[in-house]
Amino acid sequence: MLTLIVAAKGGGVLIPATVGLAGLGAIFGLALAIASKKFKVEIDPRIEQITELLPKANCGACGFAGCSAYAEALVKGAMELGVCSPSSSEATARIAELLGKEASAREKKVAFLHCAGGKVSRRRFVYDGIATCAAANLIGGGNLGCEFGCTAFYDCVRACPFGAIEIDEIGMPYVNPRTCTGCGICVKVCPRYLFELVPANKTIFVACSNPERGKFVRLVCDIGCIGCTKCVKVCKLEAIEMREGLAVIHHEKCTMCGDCIPVCPKKIIHNFAEPHVAQRPTAEEAA
């Protein structure tokens, strides 16, 4: 100690500086090492392992703040397995193995958008407000002629944590069934409830949500269901039902035969596994 002071007084600062800093470092290092032992918080190692297996998108589909919070709830037994819709079945099985539970088989679901018109629909007035679907929908029931269709301000595109919703050539959201994990966020975000979670292997559906009579649908949109019931008649399995003026395909009964696709005069029965635009009617066909 004394020699250090003498050395410092002598003008040389290199030695006291080095020794001092090294000493400080050593003291703090030691103190931290002891503290980390003493204040160690016991964490179940499975929490980290399960978090690793989860998709780590923190999408919140399970109702927890993030994947690690969900993993913690799983380990504590406060939560059922399989609530995480984005995780693959293999990952779920491995998590079940870690927890010593049976994994319930859960089929993959994807979101479908029940509207093909959107921007095609007539506009009732010019909307220049806040550019979100939620805001646009609040003003006079939205500026679309169709009160049921997509407002095309892309709340769903922004909300999707997996980037699975693209905007196609005519400005409609398109859910890519390969990247969609079925977390259901778009279902909640869409102010008009146009998304539906359906089994990933049943991709034929009616891309319209307007239940009004054909005449009124025609007034507002060229590609909407006019309630002609042609698809209902052609379906051998009685999987298609008329709900008011709108044809609805029941996915439990559908076998994906595709018979209904060509008969639709408005071409709004789509096979979603293929890109949306290709199946859209041209202007002449629609008119």
Partner 1 sequence: MFAIVIGMVFVNNFVFARFLGLCPYMGLTKEMSSAIGMGMAVIFVMTIASIATYPLYSYFLLPFGVERVLRTASFILVIAALVQFIEMLLQKVNPALYKAMGIYLPIITTNCTILGVTVLNIDTFVKDGKAQPGGLVGSAVQGFSAGVGFTLAMILMSSVRERMEMADIPKPLRGIPIAFITAALMSMAFLGFSGLIKQ
* Contact set with partner 1 (CB under 8 A): 4-5, 8-9, 13, 16-17, 20-21, 24-25, 28-29, 31-32, 35-36, 39-41, 130
| C-alpha pair distances (Å), 248 with each of 41, 138, 207, 210, 274 | 55, 27, 9, 11, 20
Nearer to partner 1, 37 or 178 (CB): 37
CB of 156 to partner 1, least distance (A): 18
Nearer to partner 1, 40 or 178 (CB): 40
Dihedral of CA atoms 42, 46, 47, 48 in degrees, nearest 10, equals: 100
CB of 21 to partner 1, least distance (A): 6
| Residue closest to 54 by CA, chosen among 81, 21, 20 | 81
Nearer to partner 1, 32 or 219 (CB): 32
| Residue closest to 204 by CA, chosen among 100, 96, 112, 101 | 112
Nearer to partner 1, 36 or 282 (CB): 36
Separation CA 208–CA 194 (nearest Å)? 9
Nearer to partner 1, 24 or 237 (CB): 24
Structure tokens at 232: 């209902």
| Residue closest to 108 by CA, chosen among 174, 178, 57, 156 | 178
CB of 181 to partner 1, least distance (A): 26
Radius of gyration, CA atoms only, the chain: 29
CB of 84 to partner 1, least distance (A): 22
CB of 155 to partner 1, least distance (A): 14
| Residue closest to 55 by CA, chosen among 156, 180, 190, 189 | 180
Nearer to partner 1, 21 or 138 (CB): 21
CB of 49 to partner 1, least distance (A): 20
CB of 273 to partner 1, least distance (A): 36
Separation CA 20–CA 27 (nearest Å)? 10
Nearer to partner 1, 8 or 234 (CB): 8
| Residue 38: count of CB within 10 angstroms of its CB | 7
CB of 139 to partner 1, least distance (A): 14
Nearer to partner 1, 75 or 225 (CB): 75
Separation CA 11–CA 114 (nearest Å)? 82
Phi and psi at 148, nearest 5°, equal -115, -15
Strands 269-271 and 204-206 come out as antiparallel
